[in-house]
């Protein structure tokens, strides 16, 4: 194997994550040539509409997956939280890298946490999940839609928002940890499924690339929690249109998992915690979904789907 082409989005964070992957591959195969092809996705092009209103799944991966399938790229680097629960036929997540901090970050110039914000403060986020959890603890907040890359969101904060909420992992990977005022952690804030995990997608029949990914980049504990959280997503059938969160962690031989489903206005949040075995992470994910749906979640989902139709 002499060369590989990696497909990625064009943001600074996406390129940084792709360079992490390239460095790991070069360490495993000295002399290998790696190219990077920047691919603009639908989610990158539509920036003036909230994600929940754009609709559909795979907004940030579809065009990159098409490049994989037609042979323009050998690999694709994604943030796992952007990857739908079901992959196209012929593609596989060949490696899951070591997970960064999975939590959301509260970022503000003047305030230390959501509870310290003044009455009616303006908080920016692109996520219905974050909106719901913010408003559950602070119904008075004015949550405003915030799209764009990390740098764009920070600029909008500096131009007048009181605070923003975004993934801590992105800030840390970009060397911007000093901008984090506080980590937002469970049970009040459950991360998005897959948050903080970088994955590498490839073609299922490319055994040489698959073997290289597993040797050079795969992190087994991250794969376990990824399997649990993606099983939860598949069982819930939720995308950007639903305030949905899941977070699994390993404790010895157990996998401990939290799941969250709510209404966008924060008036009805359902939380579930489950403990399962690391040997069957998908069972834990499905169990969290089943308990959420049985505990009023089905009604919330039906109402949200009816309102969106």
Residue range 247-296, pLDDT digits in tens: 999 999 999 999 999 999 999 999 999 999 999 999 999 999 999 999 98
93 and 137 housed in the same domain: no
Average pLDDT across the chain, whole number: 92
Query: In the predicted model, what is the mean pLDDT of residues 63-78?
Result: 95
> What distance in Å separates the CA atoms of residue 184 and residue 164, rounded to the nearest whole number?
12
Tell me what pLDDT residue 124 has.
97
> What distance in Å separates the CA atoms of residue 89 and residue 197, rounded to the nearest whole number?
22
Q: What is the CATH number of the domain that holds 32?
A: 3.40.190.10
pLDDT in tens, 94-129: 999 999 999 999 999 999 999 999 999 999 998 999
- 42 vs 218: which has the higher pLDDT: 218
Q: Which of 91-95, 240-244, 267-271 has the highest mean pLDDT?
A: 91-95
In a domain, 175, yes or no: yes
Count up the domains in the chain and report the number: 3
236 and 292 housed in the same domain: yes
Tell me what pLDDT residue 50 has.
59
Tell me what pLDDT residue 63 has.
93
CB distance 199 to 97 below 8 Å: yes
In a domain, 273, yes or no: yes
Whether residue 201 has pLDDT greater than 80: yes
In a domain, 226, yes or no: no
118 and 78 housed in the same domain: no
> What distance in Å separates the CA atoms of residue 263 and residue 282, rounded to the nearest whole number?
25
In a domain, 190, yes or no: no
Whether residue 138 has pLDDT greater than 90: yes
Query: Token pair for residue 150?
Result: 């990390």
In a domain, 225, yes or no: no
In a domain, 227, yes or no: no
**Confidence bin at 221 (pLDDT 50/70/90):** very high
Q: Which of 225, 219, 209, 238 shows the shortest CA–CA distance to 76?
A: 209
212 and 270 housed in the same domain: no
Separation of first and last alpha carbons in the chain: 49
Tell me what pLDDT residue 49 has.
61
254 and 125 housed in the same domain: no
Q: Which of 244, 240, 227 shows the shortest CA–CA distance to 285?
A: 227
77 and 150 housed in the same domain: no
Tell me what pLDDT residue 41 has.
79
Whether residue 148 has pLDDT greater than 90: no
CB distance 106 to 113 below 8 Å: yes
Whether residue 34 has pLDDT greater than 80: yes
Q: In angstroms, how far is CA 1 from the centroid of its own chain?
A: 31
Q: Is 82 a catalytic residue?
A: yes
pLDDT in tens, 204-214: 999 999 999 99
Q: Which of 292, 257, 294, 259 shows the shortest CA–CA distance to 277?
A: 257
Structural domain boundaries, residue 139:
104-184
b (16+ CB within 10 A) / e for 151-175: eebbebbeeebbbbbbbbbbbebbe
90 and 127 housed in the same domain: no
Q: What is the CATH number of the domain that holds 270?
A: 3.30.160.40
> What distance in Å separates the CA atoms of residue 281 and residue 232, rounded to the nearest whole number?
10
In a domain, 224, yes or no: no
- How far, CA to CA in Å, does 114 sit from each of 167, 189, 191? 15, 11, 16
55 and 203 housed in the same domain: yes
Query: In the predicted model, what is the mean pLDDT of residues 175-200?
Result: 97
CB distance 192 to 126 below 8 Å: no
pTM passes above 0.75: yes
**37-46, 72-81, 172-181: least confidently modelled range:** 37-46
9 and 93 housed in the same domain: yes
**From 44, 74, 82, 206, active-site residue:** 82
Whether residue 57 has pLDDT greater than 70: no
Query: Token pair for residue 189?
Result: 């804030």
Tell me what pLDDT residue 195 has.
97
Percent of the chain with pLDDT over 70: 94
205 and 77 housed in the same domain: yes
In a domain, 12, yes or no: yes
């Amino acid at each position: 194997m002499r060369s590989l082409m990696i497909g990625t989005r064009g943001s600074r964070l996406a390129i940084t994550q792709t360079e992490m992957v390239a460095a790991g591959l070069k360490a495993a195969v000295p002399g290998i040539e790696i190219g990077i092809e920047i691919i603009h996705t639908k989610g990158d092009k539509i920036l003036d509409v909230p994600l929940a209103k754009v609709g559909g799944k795979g907004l940030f991966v579809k065009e990159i997956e098409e490049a994989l399938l037609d042979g323009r790229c050998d690999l694709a680097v994604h943030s796992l939280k952007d990857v739908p629960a079901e992959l196209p036929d012929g593609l596989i997540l060949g490696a899951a890298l070591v997970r960064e901090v999975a939590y959301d970050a509260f970022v503000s110039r003047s305030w230390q946490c959501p509870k310290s914000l003044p009455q009616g403060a303006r908080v920016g986020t692109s996520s219905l999940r974050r909106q719901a959890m913010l408003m559950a603890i602070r119904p008075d907040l004015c949550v405003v839609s915030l799209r764009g890359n990390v740098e764009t969101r920070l600029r909008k904060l500096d131009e007048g928002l009181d605070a923003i909420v975004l993934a801590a992992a992105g800030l840390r990977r970009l060397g911007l940890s000093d901008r984090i005022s506080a980590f937002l952690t469970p049970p009040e804030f459950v991360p998005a499924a897959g948050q903080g995990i970088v994955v590498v997608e490839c073609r299922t029949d490319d055994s040489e690339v698959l073997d290289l990914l597993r040797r050079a980049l795969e992190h087994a504990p991250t794969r376990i929690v990824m399997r649990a959280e993606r099983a939860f997503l598949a069982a819930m059938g939720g995308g950007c249109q639903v305030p949905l969160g899941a977070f699994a962690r390993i404790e010895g031989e157990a996998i401990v998992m939290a799941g969250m489903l709510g209404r966008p206005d924060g008036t009805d949040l359902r939380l579930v915690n489950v403990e399962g075995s690391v040997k069957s992470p998908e069972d834990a994910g499905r169990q969290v979904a089943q308990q959420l749906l049985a505990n009023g979640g089905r009604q919330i989902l039906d109402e949200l789907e009816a309102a969106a139709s």
